[in-house]
Each structure stands twice: as C-alpha cells, then as structure tokens.
Structure 1
Amino acid sequence: MKGEEFGDFLKGQAEIWQLLFAFTGSMALKCAVQLRIADIINSHLGPLTLSQIASHIADSPSPDSISYLTRIMRPLVHKKVFTAHRSSDGGETLYGLTHTSRWLLWDSKPNFVPLILLENNPLMLAPWQYLSHGVKDGGRPFDKAHGCDLWRFASENPEFNEMFNDGMGCMVDIFTEEVLAGYKDGFGCIGSLVNVGGGIGGDMYKIVKSHPHIKGVNFDLPHVIATAPTYPGVSHVGGDMFVTIPNADAIFLKSVLHDWSHDLCVEILKNCRKAIPENTGKVIIVDIVFDADDEDDIFKEARIILDMVMMAHTNGGKERTEFEWKKLLEEAGFPRYKITRISAIPSIIEAYPI
C-alpha cells in the first residue's frame, strides 16, 4: 500500500473510531448537566479546579471523584464545551466556560438542559436500537421499542409526559424570540391565533405578551393541556388536530409537522384550512427547511441529526426540503407560501389558502 493510500486508510480508521463511540460525547454532556458543572463554574465568576468543582457536587466527594471528573471533562474540553489551562502558579488545571457551556446553565434562559436530559433518557435512547429493523421490515422505531407511539406513551406515563413537555418547552426560549424578531410584522394583522400542538402554552404566551391585541388559544391533546399553567391572555383548549381545530384568523404550528408523515401532515393542514377565513386566513409554520447544498450553514449538521431523531421517535416524521414543503402545502389546499429565514434552526413558512 502506497504512502498516500495508507494515510487515507488510517484516516478512515480514525473516523470510524470517532463514529463508533460518538455517543460518549452525548453521555459526557448529560453527566455535566446532571452535575451542574457549568453552573458551579458560573457561580464563582471564574475558572475552577476539579477539586473545587467536586467540593460543590458533594459534601464528601468520593475518592474516585477527581479521577472520574478528569476523564469526563477531557472530551468536553476537546469539543470546546469547557476550557482548560494551568493556573499561573503551575498548580492544578483550571476549567472555565465557553460560549457552548453557557447553554448548559440550569439557572439561565435559554438553555438546552431539559432537552439534553430528555433525549439522553434511556426511554428515548431505546428506539435507536431499532433503525435497522425499520429498514428491513418497516414500522417505527419508537413503536418497536415501547409498543406504541410517543404520543400514546406520554399520555400513559405522567413522569415521561412531564419530562417530554419540559424538553419541548426549552425550545420556546431557544426559538420563539427569534421567531418574534423575524416575524414581528406578520403578527400585527392577526386578531385571533390558535397554536396547534402548542404543548403547555409557552409559545402562545410569548406571542400574546409581545402582541397583546391577539386573542391566543393554545391547543393540544387533553393530557398535555391538563398540565398547562395559566397564562394571561391565553386560553387552553384540549382536542385532536386530526379531528378538528378551533377557528381563528391564523394558525401557528411550531415543530409539529416534522413529527408526522406526508399524508398525516396533509390531514392536519386540511383541518387548519377549515379553521381559518378563506380570503384573509393563513397558517404560520415554524419548522426546518432542509437545504443539503448549503455548505456555509452552521446548523447543517444539526438539521441532518434532527432528521434522524424524527425517524427514531416520530410517526413517520422528517425534516423537509422546500420542494417537499411545496408539495405538502399544495396537496393540503395552500397554493401560495412564503419562507422567511431566521437566526435559528427552523424557518418561518407562511401558507395561504388563495
């Protein structure tokens, strides 16, 4: 084997090692969140040694604490989640925050804490073991792992339902401010708005708070609405979007349609169309518009990963290209649409019935 060929051969081996154990990065991230390492460092307004971090994790740290922490922090430093450098006196290594670890702060919003705990929970990891089964004999990985789809599983398991709602709720803080900034003129002419699949109502409340003239309705399954807090200006309504949707000037769908297959999305959108005025109504969709050819997109890898998440966890859901969105909207009775890009993973798609 020639030198250049051998170099490529070794590079391929190294890349397989990284892919083979890629899950260790996610587990280290979950561990850091559970131990609140970022919060400990942040509360002291500067880098800390592992001994100092350990002393804030437990009153009497185990003899293994420093050894474990050293090895857990190593991949997180390598991925630039934390910084590491020797103290000025040449003593212990000091660990500090980066722009990445600031997304791990429990006491600061927005953060990814609930989503990290949700997606790395054994219940959500189990479906990943069934991807090959889906290729060979069809079916959905989540159903194969748990005997039912995610929505039924959540309705029958209150503890999981709470964890799932918390995980989805953190995306309100991550995405909704960008939606409000990027679509501020779009909400101005809306008198009433129904947030379909709105969870416990965080999105609807932020929209109504920013645009008090809007009569806001948060619409979701009854077991979700049952845990929703009271928000000023927001009415909670339980129901099934596959049956009927409350009437309004406009419908808001954030991170909902990517959970469902093409045919089921058409059903949802047809019900949305029935719920809005023929001449002035619109549906506002906040979801990923996938563009595999955009090499400069900082969220490209995240969007690819999220498409895999949809495959593992949802009822035929996926992240869609603009062509797929166009086809979907046309079949549902929306011949006209407009896409607005924002500084976040999703985009805003306005769909019009005429």
Structure 2
Amino acid sequence: MAFGWIDEQADARRRAGLVRTLRPRPADSPLLDLASNDYLGLARHPEVTEGAAAAARTWGGGATGSRLVTGTTALHRELEDELARFCGFEAALVLSSGYAANLAAVTALAPHGSLIVSDTGNHASLIDGCRLARAGTQVVAHADPDAVRKALGTHGGQAVLVSDTVFSVDGDAAPLARHAEVCREHGAGLVLDDAHGLGVLGDGGRGAPHAAGLAGADDVVVTVTLSKSLGSQGGAVLGPARVIDHLVNTARTFIFDTGLAPAAAGAALAALRLLRREPERAARARAVAAELHARLSGAGLRAVRPDAAVVSVCAPSPEQAVRWAADCRTAGLAVGCFRPPSVPDGISRLRLTARADLSGAQIERAVRVIGETRP
C-alpha cells in the first residue's frame, strides 16, 4: 500500500508520547500567553496592525510574484533599508520566512568544496540549510569555540561557521566574540541566526551581533525573523552589499518563492519604527525573563538561566511535559512544550516566553500555575 509506512511511524509516535496536534486559537483567547514568540507584545499593537492593513489596502493581499518579477514593492525596499540601518549592516534582503532566509544564506554561502561548521544546538532551518548546501558539514559541540577551531583546522579551503545567536530551546547565547575570533584565525565566514536576539539584545534591541560588536563586519552575515519581536511574518538576511547581491542571484528560496505579502512587510516596518522610538521594550523583555527565572528557581523548579527572552523549565519525561503543559492550559496559562526530537539533548521542557508587556501580577500568576501543576 502506498505510504503504508506512515501508519507504522504514527504508531511509534503514539507509543513514545510524541504525537503533535494542531490547536486553533480564538481571536480573543482568555489564556495568559507565555507560549508565543511575541517578545515585545507588538503583534496586536494598533500601529502594527494598522501598518499591515494600510499595506494591504495600498499594495493588495499578496506580492503577486517572486521578488525578481513583480513581488518587490517600494515597501519591501523601505523595510530592507530601515532594517539594515537599525541592525548596523550595509544591506538587507527580505524573504517570505525566517526559515527561507536561513536556507538562502547557508546554501548560497557554502559552495561545493567548502566546509560548514554547525553547532549541535542549531535550529532546524540551519540544519536543513547544511543538508541542502553542496559543502561538507561538521557538527561540533554546543557553543564551543575550541571545537570550532579544531573543525576549521581540518579544512584548508573556504569555510563558514553557522550558529544561532540565542538558542531556541534554552535561550542560552552563543559566544559570538570568541566564535568570530576563531573564524578570523582561519579566514572563515560567520553566518548567525539572530531570530531570538533581534528586539531583545543589543542597544535598543539591535540584536546579539550588534551587542558583540560584529554588526557591519565584512565577514559576518546575519539572518533574522520578522515573526518574533516584530510581531509580523517573514525573514531577512543582513550583511555586506556584495553578499546580498550574491543571494539575489543565487539563493533559490529567494529567486523561486513569492515575495513577502505586503501586509507582513507593512506590519514589520511599523514594529521596527515603534521599537526604534521605544527602545526600552528590549530591556523590559530581558527583565521579565530574569524575574521569571528567579521566581521559578525559588519555587524549586529546574529553570535555565536566560540570556535573552526564552526561559525553559525541565520536565521529567515527554509524557509528563505534555500533561504539565495541558494542566497549565486548563488553569488559564499557555506555555510551550518542547520534546524530542525538537530538543537536541533529549530533555523535555516547558518553554516560556518573557514578553515585554507582561505585568508583575501576570508573572506572579504564571509562576504560581506552573508550580501548582508540576508533575
């Protein structure tokens, strides 16, 4: 029978407690949200939603084609220019998602005969980029510059280190300055996914590379998402103008994909301008994360100290993590639940988002619910 193996895999997932399900949320959910990636609380901000609506009224519901045909509007160019300036880079290229941005950057910058060095904790989109690239790949120990140095030392040609800046599972930060030092010793490039750093780290939320003094360097390329701190949809690649031009001409997820919808571009641009006007939002997100960690740890829970706005709490098993998250939901709190194979170390977790717009009372309520429902 065609696709008969699917049933076998479904049975295996059920036995392991790893079945995923879709749960549509209502527009007016009563749950306290610590599950989304809306770090700055901008997804429903009136300026952001009006930015989306105005762009749709002006440019239409869709981009109408690929960026190289009819899918580039003046709005896309405006967003790219302002995003590059804000983050401290020469140029930017907007794509339809952060996933597409990572695939574009990794595949276009790792040609046949070159080497990719990839952190074992990298996001799935970077891993898939490594798999699709024509280069060879060495996976190295998590956040370990010495392991990077050793890997680069085995290769005499072109090479690139690929890493998240803030890892999505535990919210820990990569040692960017040391990584850059090692790459420069070997003449290697550095491709960084700042999905969880933009809007949270750096001066006024300019990102982890900006905080590390790497923004604008000619050997550094950064990818970002527009769907987390900026509360919209889409992704972008930031870097030297010649790198961006190379992507325009070679990156398949840019060339052959429909351009980002104008509404998403308009929302992201409005959010970016709001963040530039209210830079304190970034510091507030970090403060909320620190408070969540302190309170959860004080309650006897095993919480990982956050470097940005992600706080994870370890669970005893995949099944108990699922039940814990469900019990939180029943008590009015939405939390993320990460289980294998989404976690590289095999440890299941609750994943909490420290949103900048959370009040002290909401933080207290979240900690109380998580503590009362613990397995």
Same fold (TM over 0.5): no
Higher relative contact order (CA 8 A, sep 6+): 2
Q: Which has the larger radius of gyration?
A: 1
What TM-score do the two structures reach when normalised by structure 2? 0.24
TM-score w.r.t. structure 1 length?
0.25
Instruction: Choose between structure 1 and 2: higher helix proportion.
Output: 1
